[in-house]
Amino acid sequence: MTGLLLILPGFLLIAALIAYPFAMSIFLSMTNAEISTLLTPQFVGLDNFIRLLGDSLFRQAVINSFVFTLIAVVFKIGLGLLMALALYDNFAGRRTITALLLFSWVAPIALSLLTWLWLLDSLYSPFNWVLRATGIMDFGLSWLGEPVLAMISIAIVNVWRGFPFFGLMLLAGLISVPRSLYEAANLDGASGWQKFRLITLPMLRVTLAVLVLYATIFTFNEFAVVQILTRGGPENSTQVFATLAFQRGILSGNLGEASAITLYFLPVFAVLSLLMLKLSWKEREL
């Protein structure tokens, strides 16, 4: 009984902040609810989901979301792994470097994104000044004004904010690998690449699987970076699920369609989560 009482506050908090909004999203996605008719919505079944299939902007958001997620996840995991490998051995200044790398992750998102707005400004960007000063280019780039550059820019900012967290998690997993395995490999004359391929990667497989899942889900639902930097532009080239749902639901007042947008790929992520969890438990049993 005591155990149940102890977990009750956490359960109520989860129910209030996650379960209730999730249930409301499912309900609203099957209605024609708008802000003006929120109290008297009519049930429309799967009409919102079907109508979205013929929406060219929604299809563009699907493509953008997958492209953005693929780029960001690959670089976040890749740079995180490089960070973990670089910080694995003790050396002078290790803690200072770790703290500096983690700054981008712990810094207030509003402050960091305002800084990036200045860094990527077409007129005042320091990047453009460097390009012109070094003679690489005679003109500055419109980082947030060109479709391809805008996608690259939001991906860079997302990776910058996220990779230190993944590096820290991978470093924790790397520290748990017995050093005796590396010592034995050294005695056998294994190269650095062989030790990485035959020891490090297999031992980090579970950690990598969980982090890839985590990165995919949270990157796919990224809102702040895209909304503050580009608002889905230019020409909807960076429009993703979260920003499209915000525009349809909050700015246009179509809560039913916005809820359908947020839930469209829920089955895909549910299956992906189950597969990743199954892989994790299987690896733990080995």
Angle between the 20-29 and 255-263 helix axes, to the nearest 10 degrees? 110
C-alpha–C-alpha distance, residues 270 and 55, integer Å: 24
Report CA 149 to chain centroid distance, whole Å: 19
The pLDDT tens digits for 35-93 are: 887 778 889 888 999 999 999 999 999 999 999 999 999 999 999 999 999 888 888 88
Kindly list the structural domains of the chain, giving each domain's residue range(s) and its CATH number in brackets, ordered by start.
21-285 (1.10.3720.10)
Closest CA to 213 of 146, 116, 259, 280: 280
C-alpha–C-alpha distance, residues 221 and 267, integer Å: 15
The pLDDT tens digits for 235-255 are: 999 999 999 999 998 898 889
What's the average model confidence in pLDDT over 107-130? 88
